[in-house]
Amino acid sequence: MIRVLFVCLGNICRSPMAEAVMRDLVEKRGLSAEIKIDSAGTSSWHIDEPPHKGTRAKLEEYKISTSGMKARQLRTSDVDFDYIVCMDASNVENTRNMLREDDNTKIIRFLDLTFHKKDVPDPWYTGDFQETYELCLDGCNALLERIMEARK
C-alpha cells in the first residue's frame, strides 16, 4: 500500500482539495485499494472542521466528494507516509521540523512535481479556488504518474 499525505497550514483549503482530487483520480483508475490518501495541517486552528466552503463549492463543480473529511493537525506518526506533499515551502520546512525528518525524497513541495515550480497560493487569502483546483489537478496527476512509475 502506498500512503500519500498532503499538507498545508490549516488543512481546510489546499491540502483537502488535493486529497479529494487525488482520491478521485485514484478511484477512477481503480487503485483505491493500493493507494491511501490523507491530508493534515501544520497548525491546530481548524481541527475537526470540514473543508472550507470555497473548497467544497469548487470540488462540487467537478463532482468530487469531500464527504467525511475533517481537518487534523500533522502528528509525528505521519512520518510513516511514503509521500508527504506540502503545498508551499513554508509547509515543507514546518513539516520537516514537526516530523524531525530530513528525507528530501519523502517530504516534497507539491508543485515541484510539475512545470509550475512554485507554491500553491492559499485561497484563504487569495479567494481564487479555481487556481488552487487547477494546480491541485496538475500536481495530483504528476504525483500519480510518479507513483505508477515507481511501482514498475
CATH code for position 140: 3.40.50.2300
Q: pLDDT, tens digit, for every residue of 114-137?
A: 988 799 999 999 999 999 999 999
The catalytic residue among 13, 14, 23, 24 is 14
Number of domains in the chain: 1
14 is an active site residue:
yes
The catalytic residue among 8, 86, 136, 140 is 8
The catalytic residue among 38, 122, 138, 140 is 122
13 is an active site residue:
no
Q: What is the DSSP string of the chain?
A: -EEEEEEESSSSSHHHHHHHHHHHHHHHTT-TTTEEEEEEESSSTTTTPPPPHHHHHHHHHTT---TT----B--GGGGG-SEEEESSHHHHHHHHHHHT---TTTEEEGGGGSS--SPPP-HHHH--HHHHHHHHHHHHHHHHHHHHHHH-
Residue range(s) defining the domain that contains residue 57: 2-151
Q: pLDDT, tens digit, for every residue of 103-117?
A: 667 899 999 999 887
Note the pLDDT of residue 105: 78
Measured in whole angstroms, the distance separating CA 26 from the mean position of its chain's CA atoms is 13
Terminal-residue alpha carbon distance, the chain: 14
Q: How confident is residue 14, by pLDDT bands cut at 50, 70 and 90?
A: very high
